[in-house]
């Protein structure tokens, strides 16, 4: 089967004839750009709704489009079950043994039958193990489990960090961001708080606004302490005690503290921080399908997490440049309860904002539900594509028809309600109606066989088996040297006056027999300015260095470790009873520290350039905040966007030539049909004439010899005419074949050009060249420098 994903089209199935109840051979290809106007999938249990959405995610992954999929039921994790070899042994660990027993089969036999079923099903839809392998190689897939370590744990404590400047500068966006964060947090406590009338909501909102305007991130612990002792005395025109007395504030603080101290809540503090860019792209810049499994959470916890996730998605979106191509997809498997028609849960405001604004940034929203009556259809008026499957009740059907009618009215299209109702009544399992505002008319289709094994909802144990735990990379960009131990520990050495001396805390608790030994080193915080007008770069960067000191080794700043952040809190005194390694020669002299600090500035100028990356093919350069992996992630969309534009131009260029060829073929087919009709008529006349002549000659009436001869002559002429008509048919057919060959050649030429474009803009083949920018010598400042003792 031809791979259409190179054309930015998603292969979802084949068109279906409801009157004959069978599918055709015409492929249902969905233009990926159409999803920038968002999509909704509606269907009852058993309609094939989840399979359709998973097929769409598979197509996006094959095309290199990252996806964040919220999975409230545990079904979407099946995307991880990809078996290119289609061997029974691959399926065996994942089959339901109880189902095998119910069907009177052993687990091994059932696995063999399942493997055969999948292989046959894929082949029926023109797919095979090689396409599964392509899916596996195109995108990385992970299962993230907030509040659990079953999959890749995710912490949302960073949800109270300062929003991006783009959000801070937009009053409406900033207000919505604060409101959603506070509503989600109070929802965890079971407090249904109105943003305008609830004093809990107003107090917490004021805390966040106060901290964020000062550039301070807040942890949950900071919020609890802030409730007890707010950094302000008034809320509005009332003093704090009148608005929210201290005893009442203590009650709120205790509830939050109990939540934070609860054993089950500790899992919320473990794992990678919630970061949209990391969910969309791996460390190496490879597109990701991040499955956010929340089936294990309670309803308030789900609402809290989804609200925070939507808020983070909004903040990320507003930092992206505008685009007409599909940049990423956000999918929610069951939107019931998160976007209701009358209530206003914390998730509704950010969801509505995304539906209204995400199109301009290339972010496609895809939502699914089996309960259409529980959706705010007015809010879904911006949804351009509706996938509608079999519905359970007449009420559901009427609700969907109302929604479709509203979408058609908003887009200025006509709507035949009676025809649409008839179509909806005829839908069966895996048969869907696609109403796409970008198409001329609705289309009915049957969904293709998915590449992933659909074994049903996954348990935590199964998620754990699927998840490969990886350790975070070290926060070091310079190798650092292996430092030999100076000497045996001694009492604390005397350090020259004027040298700052600090002590790092121990990470492990002290205990009986646990004696602290300190090793010496140098620490430095440096600030440098990097500027290059040609690249539009003018930034200040901070550099945090740690260099271990060793007896007999010279101070070489090239061997220092580069830390991602500043040193943690450091004390001015060490632990009681600690011992110290000896200082190297010269480390007791202030003059040495002065020389080392001067050498540090020279080292930064010579050996610590700002390295950017340039992609000449796309005329793009990384920012000062992007490493190579992050830049490749951004280029992935830029390449896809450039590819889509190039293919669109190619289509326009070839459209007239293809239309001319198709018109000539149409006329040639008409000529063949016409000549065939004339030939058949001439042939029939000849047969009749010959028959009449023979009968007249044998049994004829009293005809003159002249008439007999004349009739025979006419018969001969008609036979000759039949031969001419046959030759005309052959010429018409030859012309038809010639035009068909021209069309085939033009189509092959077009497809080859598309293939060239696809290769040219393949993100994995883009070449990057490093660009180094040295800091300005006059703008290198050593902010802090001294001797640091590290515990052991």
DSSP-assigned letters across all residues of 94-162? GS-HHHHHHTT--HHHHHHHHHHHHHHHHHHTT--HHHHHHHHHH-EEEEEEET-SSSEEEE-GGGGSP
- Mean predicted confidence (pLDDT) in 511-533: 84
Tell me, yes or no, whether 211 and 256 share the same domain: yes
pLDDT of residue 470: 40
Q: Looking at the 3D structure of the chain, how many domains does it have?
A: 4
Alpha carbon 392 to its chain centroid, in Å, reads 31
Same domain, 421 and 307: yes
Do 170 and 231 belong to one domain?
A: yes
Q: Please give the pLDDT value at position 694.
A: 53
Which range of residues forms the domain containing residue 592? 500-609+774-791
pLDDT of amino acid 477: 39
Asked whether residue 615 is domain-assigned, the answer is no
For 694-725, the pLDDT digits (tens) are: 555 555 554 445 555 555 556 556 556 666 76
Q: How many CB atoms lie within 10 A of CB 481?
A: 15
The answer as to whether 139 is a domain residue is: yes
Mean of the per-residue pLDDT values of the chain: 84
Q: What is the pLDDT of residue 473?
A: 40
What percent of the chain stands above pLDDT 70? 88
Q: How far apart are CA 535 and CA 726, in angstroms?
A: 73
Who contacts 742 (Cβ-Cβ below 8 Å, separation ≥6)?
661, 664
DSSP per residue over 246-299, as a string?
A: HHHHHHHHHHHHHHHHSGGGGGGGSSEE--HHHHHB-TTS-BEEEEEE-TTS-H
Residue (of 388, 384, 412) closest to 398 by Cα position: 388
Give the confidence band of 633 by pLDDT, cuts at 50, 70, 90: confident
Residue 742 has pLDDT above 80, yes or no: yes
Out of 64-73, 340-349, 705-714, least confident range: 705-714
* Angstrom distance (rounded) from CA 325 to CA 58: 18
Statement to judge: residues 164 and 254 lie in one domain = yes
**Spatial distance between the Cα atoms of 427 and 185, rounded to a whole number of angstroms:** 42
Please say if the pLDDT value at position 246 is more than 70.
yes
Instruction: Report whether pLDDT(506) > 80.
Output: no
What is residue 507's predicted lDDT score, i.e. its pLDDT?
59
- CA proximity to 185, closest of 220, 152, 161, 215: 220
Q: How far is it, in rounded angstroms, from Cα 7 to Cα 650?
A: 11
Query: Which whole-number Å values give the CA distances from 775 to 601, 623, 749, in the listed order?
Result: 10, 16, 51
Looking at the predicted structure, is the pLDDT value of residue 413 above 80?
Answer: no
CATH of the domain at 374: 3.40.50.300
**Mean pLDDT across the stretch 666-673?**
83
Q: Which tens digits make up the pLDDT trace of 264-294? A: 777 777 788 888 989 999 877 889 999 999 9
Same domain, 162 and 259: yes
Residue 658 has a pLDDT of: 84
* Inter-residue contact 415 to 16 (CB < 8 Å): no
* Cα radius of gyration (the chain): 36
More confident: 297 or 412: 297
Point out the least confidently predicted range of 221-230, 517-526, 644-653, 766-775: 644-653
69 & 39 share domain: yes
Structural domain ending residue among the three candidates 448, 466, 484: 466
Note whether 140 and 32 are same-domain residues: yes
Asked if residue 7 lies in contact with residue 754, where contact means CB atoms within 8 angstroms, the answer is yes
pLDDT score recorded for residue 1? 46
Other CB atoms within 10 Å distance of the CB of residue 132 = 21
**379 — pLDDT class (breaks 50, 70, 90):** confident
Task: Assess whether 782 and 726 both reside in one domain.
Answer: no
Among residues 273, 304, 333, the one where a domain terminates is 273
Model confidence at 44: pLDDT above 60: yes
HSE-up (13 A, CA, CB side) for residue 358:
31
State how far Cα 740 lies from the chain centre.
41
d(CA 283, CA 267): 24
CA–CA separation, 9 and 651 (whole Å)? 14
Q: What confidence score (pLDDT) does residue 737 get?
A: 86
64 φψ region: left (φ > 0), alpha (ψ -120 to 50), beta (else): left
pLDDT over threshold 90, residue 565 = no
What pLDDT sits at residue 711?
A: 55
Q: Which of 146-155, 164-173, 520-529, 592-601 has the lowest mean pLDDT?
A: 164-173
Q: Is residue 472 part of a domain?
A: no
- What gap in Å lies between CA 156 and CA 400, rounded to an integer? 36
Q: Are 52 and 387 in contact (CB under 8 A)?
A: yes
User: What phi and psi values does residue 189 have, to the nearest 5 degrees?
Assistant: -90, 0
d(CA 444, CA 18): 8
Tell me: do 737 and 787 sit in the same domain: no
Residue 570 has pLDDT above 80, yes or no: no
Q: How high is the pLDDT of residue 16? A: 95
User: Quick one: average pLDDT of 534-553?
Assistant: 86
Whole-angstrom distance, CA of residue 150 vs CA of residue 492? 47
DSSP state of 339: S
Overall average pLDDT of the 629-652 stretch: 83
Q: 510 or 646: which carries more pLDDT confidence? A: 646
Which pLDDT does position 7 carry in this prediction? 63
- CA dist 8 and 167 (Å) reads 32
Q: Which of 1-5, 128-132, 417-421, 520-524 has the lowest mean pLDDT?
A: 1-5
* pLDDT over 90, % of the chain: 38
Residues 479-497 pLDDT 10s = 444 444 444 556 778 888 8
Element (H, E) at 28: strand 22-31
**Whether residue 659 is found in the same domain as residue 705:** yes
Mean of pLDDT values over 629-641? 82
What pLDDT is stored for residue 119 in this prediction? 96
Based on the fold, state whether residues 427 and 298 are members of the same structural domain: yes
What is the Cα–Cα distance from 387 to 53, expressed in whole angstroms?
9
Residue 204 pLDDT > 90: yes
Please compute the mean of the pLDDT values over residues 390-417 and round it to a whole number.
81
Question: Which range, of 143-147, 445-449, 537-541, 665-669, averages the lowest pLDDT?
Answer: 665-669
Q: What average pLDDT does this structure show over 667-685?
A: 75
Please name which of 50, 90, 78 lies closest in space to residue 291, comparing C-alpha atoms.
Answer: 78
pLDDT at 599: 93
Higher pLDDT, 465 or 407: 465
- Which of 229, 255, 273 terminates a domain? The answer is 273
Q: Which residue has the higher pLDDT, 155 or 719?
A: 155
First-residue to last-residue Cα distance in the chain? 62
* Structural domain contains residue 119: no
Residue among 400, 307, 326 nearest 47 (CA): 400
In a domain, 543, yes or no: yes
Would 6 be classed as within a structural domain? yes
Q: Is 444 domain-assigned?
A: yes
Instruction: Specify the 3-state DSSP secondary structure of 52.
Output: helix
pLDDT of residue 157: 62
Do residues 142 and 164 share a domain? no
Q: Look at residue 585 and tell me if it is in a domain.
A: yes
């Amino acid at each position: 089967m031809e791979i259409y994903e190179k054309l930015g089209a998603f292969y979802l199935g084949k068109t279906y004839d409801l009157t004959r109840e069978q599918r055709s051979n015409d492929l249902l290809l969905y233009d990926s750009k159409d999803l920038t106007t968002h999509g909704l999938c509606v269907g009852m249990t058993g309609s094939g709704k989840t399979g359709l959405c998973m097929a769409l995610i598979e197509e996006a992954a094959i095309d290199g489009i990252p996806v964040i999929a919220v999975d409230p039921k545990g079904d979407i994790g099946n995307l991880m079950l990809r078996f290119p070899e289609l061997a029974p042994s691959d399926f065996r660990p994942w089959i339901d043994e109880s189902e095998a027993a119910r069907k009177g089969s052993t687990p091994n036999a059932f696995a063999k039958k399942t493997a055969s079923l999948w292989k046959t099903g894929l082949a029926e839809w023109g797919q095979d193990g090689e396409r599964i392998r392509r899916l596996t190689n195109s995108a990385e897939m992970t299962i993230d489990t907030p509040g659990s370590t079953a999959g890749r744990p995710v912490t949302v404590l960073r949800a109270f960090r300062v929003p991006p400047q783009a959000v801070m500068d937009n009053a409406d966006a900033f207000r919505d961001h604060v409101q959603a964060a506070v509503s989600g947090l109070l929802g965890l406590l079971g407090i249904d708080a109105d943003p305008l009338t609830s004093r809990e909501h107003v107090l917490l909102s004021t805390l966040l606004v106060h901290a964020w305007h000062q550039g301070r991130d807040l942890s949950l612990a900071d919020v609890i302490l802030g409730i007890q002792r707010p950094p302000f005395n008034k809320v509005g025109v009332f003093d704090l005690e009148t608005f929210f007395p201290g005893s009442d504030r203590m009650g709120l603080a205790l509830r939050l503290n109990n939540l934070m101290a609860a054993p089950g809540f500790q899992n919320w503090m473990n794992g990678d921080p919630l970061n949209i860019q990391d969910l969309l792209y791996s460390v190496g810049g490879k597109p990701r399908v991040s499955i956010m499994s929340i089936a294990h959470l309670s309803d308030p916890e789900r609402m809290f997490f989804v609200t925070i996730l939507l808020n983070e998605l909004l903040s990320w979106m507003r930092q992206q440049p505008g685009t007409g191509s599909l940049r990423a997809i956000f999918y929610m498997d069951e939107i019931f309860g998160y976007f209701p028609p009358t209530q206003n849960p914390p998730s509704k405001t950010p969801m509505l904002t995304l539906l209204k604004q995400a199109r301009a940034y290339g972010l496609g929203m895809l939502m699914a539900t089996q309960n259409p009556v529980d959706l705010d259809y007015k809010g879904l008026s911006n949804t351009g594509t509706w996938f509608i499957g079999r519905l359970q009740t007449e009420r559901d059907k009427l609700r969907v028809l109302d929604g479709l009618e509203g979408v058609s009215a908003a887009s200025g299209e006509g709507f035949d309600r009676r025809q649409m109702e008839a179509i909806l009544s005829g839908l069966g399992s895996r048969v869907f109606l696609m109403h796409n505002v970008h198409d001329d008319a609705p289309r009915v289709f049957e969904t293709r066989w998915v590449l992933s094994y659909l074994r049903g909802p996954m348990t935590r144990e199964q998620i754990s088996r699927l998840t490969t735990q990886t350790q975070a990379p070290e926060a070091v960009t310079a190798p650092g040297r292996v430092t030999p131990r100076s000497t045996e520990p001694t009492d604390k050495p005397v350090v020259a006056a004027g040298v700052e001396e600090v002590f790092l805390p121990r990470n492990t608790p002290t205990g009986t027999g646990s004696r602290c030994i300190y090793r010496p080193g140098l620490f430095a915080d440096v600030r440098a300015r990097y500027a290059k007008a040609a690249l539009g770069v003018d930034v200040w960067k901070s550099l945090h260095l740690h260099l271990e000191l060793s007896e007999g080794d010279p101070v070489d700043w090239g061997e220092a470790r580069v830390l991602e952040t500043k040193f943690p809190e450091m004390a001015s005194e060490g632990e009681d009873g600690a011992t110290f390694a000896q200082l190297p020669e010269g480390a007791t002299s202030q003059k040495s520290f002065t020389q080392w600090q001067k050498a540090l500035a020279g080292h930064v100028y010579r050996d610590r350039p700002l390295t950017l990356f340039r992609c000449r093919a796309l005329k793009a350069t990384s920012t000062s905040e992007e490493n190579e992996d992050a830049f490749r992630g951004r280029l992935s969309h830029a390449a896809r966007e450039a590819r889509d534009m190039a293919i669109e131009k190619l289509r326009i260029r070839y459209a007239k030539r293809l239309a001319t060829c198709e018109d000539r073929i149409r006329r040639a087919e008409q000529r063949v049909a016409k000549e065939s009709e004339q030939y058949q008529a001439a042939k029939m006349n000849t047969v009749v004439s010959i028959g009449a002549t023979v009968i007249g000659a044998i049994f004829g009436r009293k005809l003159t010899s002249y008439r007999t001869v004349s009739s025979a002559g006419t018969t001969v002429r008609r036979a000759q005419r039949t031969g001419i008509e046959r030759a005309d048919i052959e010429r018409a057919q030859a012309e038809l074949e010639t035009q068909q060959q021209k069309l085939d050649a033009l189509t092959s030429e077009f497809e080859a050009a598309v293939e060239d474009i696809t290769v040219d803009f393949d993100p994995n083949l883009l070449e990057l060249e490093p660009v180094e920018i040295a800091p300005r010598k006059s703008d290198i400042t050593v902010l802090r420098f001294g001797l640091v003792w590290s515990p052991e």
